[in-house]
Amino acid sequence: MKRIAIFAALIFGALLSLQAGDISGNEAQRLASRYSLCVVGMGCGGVGDPILRGTSWEVPVLFGFAGAPHGSIHVDKASGLISYSYSGRIYPTLSPKQLTQRKYDLIHGR
């Protein structure tokens, strides 16, 4: 019985650590790319490689065919909150779930 309790505690701890994982650089880049399309409305361009700065990822915004830098999209490493401002314009801060809803609405014409 004691072994089962220890095993259950170890499994529970492992599951909690999986849920509490931070956003990786690849995930930050994917979120920033989706944000640039669904929120910023970039038709041409994309995002660069993420750079970890403290508690958030900075993902450079590359605008147009030439890839001109237009600031960075910020992705919070712990929460995944995505934010961006450039040239005096402040775009909405979204959670990954809200961003997924925006993408769905864009695809389905809502």
Better-scored residue on pLDDT, 10 or 92 = 92
CA distance linking residue 23 with residue 71, whole number of Å:
20
- Residue 15 is predicted with a pLDDT of 45
- Give pLDDT tens digits for 65-83: 888 999 999 999 999 999 9
Whether the CB-CB separation of 61 and 71 falls below 8 Å is answered with yes
- Residue 34 is predicted with a pLDDT of 95
Mean pLDDT confidence for 88-110:
91
- Residue 62 is predicted with a pLDDT of 94
Longest CA–CA separation in the chain, Å: 66
Asked if pLDDT for residue 48 goes beyond 70, the answer is yes
How distant, in Å, are the alpha carbons of 31, 48, 58, 71, 91 from that of 67?
19, 9, 16, 12, 20
